[in-house]
């Protein structure tokens, strides 16, 4: 009886009884089917969606975690004495494991703990976030829209170069302290500084001009990318003056300080501008924008943490982005110290 009732309910649109109830049910099922069909056939790109309000709201939300990191210094790292303590404890456990005959299990556990340690996971997270913002999101956008071949080509080239950098840094993993003594990884540093500040602004300036996209949004970003490119030439001039300046002169330290400060600003600016332009011009849909903004918030929060501590831990894994940000932090801090020392020396002489 129950089975018959169930079949009758499911099949009622196809019963040919000439009564009002069956006609009403049939009409109801037709409405449901026609409502569901457009959702099944809809494109992934929502052409009618305007991302302006969401981007504005997201920008305001982005300021909160960054301000929180700056003001309250939530990024605390263990370094120095704590690291020595951990090493001594590991040596004691290793000796005990040798005597108990479980040395292999002990080494496996130590290796697993090191791989999952904060000093390894955080730099890998920084690499993941940086690459996602730099080329993964633009590549997704270029495949979602049919008329973005130039963006697709640029994103693929960008991806190949940044993946090569990441592999180059991780193929022989080392800490920041070890990487400082090996000049090999500094190739990544110079690439990640000078490629984005030139290639990204030039590409988007050329793209906007060639496609004659002079709406308000494109015009604003044309000005911003042009300003970034102009400032990048100033960075090259500072580098040129720093190379030929007298190392003993305080002016050389000023060049180094402003060079590192400009490098910090220009390291992040092109990627942020590119991310905002993509969200405003090609939002795809609501969920894409929200996810993109969430990733951007995480990336900016992690980046800010490098410049809000007295010392970036030297036992951090030297991934390409972690080493680049540490190098910028270290140069800025050292040049500031040298300026203060030489100022005191000159004032004492006078």
Q: Which domain range does residue 330 map to?
A: 51-75+118-344
Predicted confidence (pLDDT) at residue 41 exceeds the cutoff of 70: no
Rg (CA), the chain: 28
- What is the per-residue pLDDT for 75? 46
Note whether residue 322 is domain-resident. yes
Residue 100: band (very low, low, confident or very high) from pLDDT cuts 50, 70, 90: low
Report residue 25 as tokens. Answer: 């049910």
Say if residue 23's pLDDT is above 50. yes
Q: Given pLDDT bands bounded at 50, 70 and 90, which one contains residue 82?
A: very low
Tell me what percent of the residues of the chain surpass a pLDDT of 70.
Answer: 69
Closest CA to 152 of 137, 139, 136, 134: 139
Residue 7 has pLDDT above 50, yes or no: no
Within-domain flag for 297: yes
Residue among 213, 321, 198, 326 nearest 269 (CA): 198
Q: Identify the residue with better confidence: 329 or 12.
A: 329
* Residue 101 region by backbone torsions, left for phi larger than 0, else alpha for psi between -120 and 50, else beta: left
Specify burial of residue 233 (Cβ count, 10 A radius: 0-12, 13-18, 19+).
Answer: exposed
Given a cut of 80, whether residue 297 has pLDDT beyond it is yes
| Alpha carbon distance 153, 148 (integer Å) | 9
What pLDDT, on a 0 to 100 scale, did the predictor assign at position 28? Answer: 57
Is 21 a member of any domain? no
The answer to whether position 46 is within a domain reads no
In a domain, 291, yes or no: yes
In angstroms, rounded to a whole number, what is the distance separating the alpha carbons of residues 203 and 80?
44
H helices of 20-174, in order, are 20-41, 52-72, 81-100, 103-115, 118-131, 137-144, 149-170
Predicted local confidence at residue 223, as pLDDT: 96
Q: Name the more confident of 18 and 132.
A: 132
pLDDT beyond 70 at 43:
no
Q: Is 334 a member of any domain?
A: yes
Calpha distance 303→92 (Å, rounded): 36
Token pair 């009618």: residue: 48
pLDDT at 221 over 60: yes
- Confidence check: pLDDT of 42 > 70: no
**Residue 331: what pLDDT?**
82
pLDDT band at 99 (very low <50, low <70, confident <90, very high): low
Q: In this model, does residue 47 exceed pLDDT 80?
A: no
pLDDT bracket for residue 276 (50, 70, 90) = very high
- Residue 40 scores a pLDDT above 80: no
- Rounded mean pLDDT, 74-88: 47
Domain count, the chain: 1
Question: Please, what is the average pLDDT of the chain?
Answer: 76
Q: What percent of the chain is modeled with pLDDT above 90?
A: 23
In a domain, 33, yes or no: no
Matching residue, tokens 């929200």: 290
- Does residue 122 register a pLDDT over 80? yes
243-253 pLDDT per residue, tens: 777 767 767 77
Is 285 within a domain?
A: yes
């Amino acid at each position: 009886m129950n089975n018959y009732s169930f079949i009758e309910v499911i099949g009622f649109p196809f019963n040919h009884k000439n009564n009002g109830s069956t006609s009403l049910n049939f009409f109801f099922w037709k409405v449901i089917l026609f409502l569901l069909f457009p959702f099944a056939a809809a494109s992934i790109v929502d052409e009618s969606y305007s991302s302006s309000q969401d981007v504005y709201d997201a920008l305001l939300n982005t300021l909160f975690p960054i301000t929180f990191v700056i003001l309250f210094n939530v990024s605390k790292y263990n370094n120095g004495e704590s690291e020595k303590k951990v090493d001594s404890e590991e040596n004691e456990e290793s000796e005990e494991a040798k005597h108990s005959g479980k040395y292999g299990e002990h080494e496996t556990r130590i290796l697993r703990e090191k791989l999952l340690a904060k000093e390894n996971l955080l730099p890998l997270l920084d690499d993941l976030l940086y690459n996602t913002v730099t080329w993964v999101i633009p590549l997704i956008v270029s495949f979602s829209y049919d008329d973005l071949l130039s963006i697709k080509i640029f994103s693929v080239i960008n991806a190949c170069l940044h993946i090569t950098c990441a592999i180059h840094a991780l193929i022989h993993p080392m800490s920041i302290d070890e990487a400082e003594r090996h000049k090999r990884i500094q190739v990544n540093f110079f690439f990640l500084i000078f490629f984005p500040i030139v290639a990204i602004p030039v590409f988007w300036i050329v793209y906007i001009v060639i496609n004659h996209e002079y709406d308000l949004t494109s015009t604003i970003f044309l000005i911003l990318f042009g300003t970034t490119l102009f400032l990048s030439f100033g960075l090259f001039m500072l580098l040129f003056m720093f190379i030929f300046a007298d190392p003993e002169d305080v002016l050389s330290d000023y060049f180094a300080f402003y060079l590192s400060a400009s490098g910090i600003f220009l390291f992040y600016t092109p990627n942020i501008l590119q991310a905002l332009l993509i969200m405003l011009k090609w939002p795809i849909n609501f969920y894409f924008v929200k996810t993109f903004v969430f990733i951007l918030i995480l990336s900016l929060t992690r980046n800010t943490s490098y410049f809000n501590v007295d010392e970036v831990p030297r036992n951090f894994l030297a991934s390409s982005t972690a080493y680049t940000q540490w190098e910028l932090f270290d140069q800025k801090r050292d040049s500031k110290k040298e300026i203060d020392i030489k100022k005191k020396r000159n004032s004492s002489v006078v």
